[in-house]
Structure 1
Amino acid sequence: MNKAFVKEGDQDDDDDLPPGAPPIPPGSKNYITPVGYQRIKDELLQLIDVERPEVVKVVHWAASNGDRSENGDYIYGKRRLREIDRRIRFLTKRMDLAEVVDPSIHHGNDQVFFGATVTYAKRDGEEHTITIVGIDEFDPLKGKVSWISPVARTLTKAREGDTVLLHTPNGAEELEILEVSYPAPTP
């Protein structure tokens, strides 16, 4: 069917990513830490067990009030149900594709892999500490960068004391790796 004849709301919701959610690069796995996987699982269960049933009750009540065309509770509730269902589908797909990688297996290693917390210095002496995490876990304000980010890809497989070259739009930048650490294994 030609896209010209499709209503805006009729698009395939499964292909829509939420705002700010990066797509999984083609041919790669959706690496995620155990903490990130648990966070997604908790959100999914919250949506399924708590939020969705509450909205269904409101929509059912609003539908019983009669005229649905001007019923704000009904219209908003149906919209909220679509949003919740879209999020549930997205989280379910991400969990199905997830490859949980426990960074503690590298505890004591000085080489950068997925899950590493890396402190590096720029040429001007400015230091940064980042943790390399999955694309569903990144939070730049907390120092968590996705494994597909340019800085993570540049640092991966380097060791403490190495100097690597990060290519940026402003030119190449040297980064000296000062420290690499991993969480301790849990008993």
Structure 2
Amino acid sequence: MKPANQRFAGRYRPPGPKRSPLITPEGAAALKDELDDLWRNKRPVITLAVQEAAALGDRSENAEYIYGKKMLREMDSRILYLQRRLDHIKVVEGLPADPNKVYFGAWVTLIDDDDNERHYRIVGADELNPSSGYISIDSPLALALIGKKLDDRVELNNLNKGYDITAIKYLGVQPN
């Protein structure tokens, strides 16, 4: 017999790390728009397709019905997630007390040890988009940057990398 912690190893997934509830106004609007689009536009179309597939007869071998129900479950799961997330998020508006330091919402320009310049914006976990330079407030780099100021050095020990902060900017405001 397997030990208790391995019996259901295939199904059990430990909860993910707790994510910050912070989000930018743009991110909150995007989540609300996605929820509205799913609920008002996409869900009715899939529901109608499932009803039409169910009317064709035997549901056990009806691929359209089975696929439609699967899509509906996935969409309902996303809708429930968005509803719960929107209830818990905290929209961060305005500037921090000291715009010369890195805080949530800042665009930060970094130069690494090889003189490569990188631009990142610190955003909420739901806004993560590395290809656009949006990094999560929960990421190791963002956590290392929080509270730092211009010309400070940030070391990431687990990657053996260092960065120098060359610019900090908040939308619409340039620090001194």
* TM-score of the aligned structures, taking structure 1 as reference length: 0.79
For this pair of structures, how many residues does the alignment match? 166
Match of 1:184 in 2: 172
SS state at 2:122 partner: strand
Residue of structure 1 equivalent to 2:132: 142
Matched-pair contact (CA < 8 Å) for 1:118–1:179: yes
- The alpha-carbon distance between structure 1 residues 108 and 183, as it changes in their structure 2 partners (threshold 3 A), is farther
Q: In the alignment, which residue of structure 1 is the partner of 2:116? A: 126
Counterpart in 1 of 2:3? none
Q: Distance in 2 between matches of 1:126 and 1:148?
A: 23
Match of 2:145 in 1: 155
Equivalent in 48, 53, 64 of residue 73 of structure 1: 64
Taking the aligned partners of 1:130 and 1:107, their CA distance within structure 2 comes to 20
Between the aligned partners of 1:97 and 1:109, the Cα distance in structure 2 is 26
| Whole-angstrom CA distance in 2 between matches of 1:79 and 1:122 | 46
CA RMSD of aligned residues (A): 2.5
What code does the residue aligned with 1:148 have?
Answer: D
Residues 163-187 of structure 1 show CA distances to partners (whole Å, capped at 9, x for unaligned) of 2222223x3x3321100000128xx
Amino acid across the alignment from 1:125: D
The separation in 1 between residues aligned to 2:49 and 2:162, in whole angstroms, is 57
Equivalent position SS for 1:105: coil
Query: Could you list the per-position Cα deviations for residues 62-93 of structure 1 after superposition, in whole angstroms to 9, with x for gaps in the alignment?
Result: 11221111212211111111011011011111
The alignment-based identity, stated in percent, is 37
Structure 2, gaps ≥5 residues long:
1-5
Partner of residue 99 from structure 1, selected from 90, 98, 114: 90
SS of 1:158's equivalent in the other structure is coil
TM-score (norm 2): 0.84
- How far residue 33 of structure 1 moved from its aligned partner, in angstroms, is 0.5
Do 1:52 and 1:81's aligned partners in 2 also have CA atoms closer than 8 Å?
A: yes
Per the TM alignment, residue 24 of structure 1 is displaced from its structure 2 partner at its CA by: 5.2
- 1:6-27 C-alpha deviation (Å, 9 max, x unpaired): xx7xx9xxx999xxxxx452xx
Q: Is the 8 A contact 2:125 2:136 kept in 1?
A: yes
Deviations 1:140-185 (A, max 9, x none): 111110011111111110011212222223x3x3321100000128
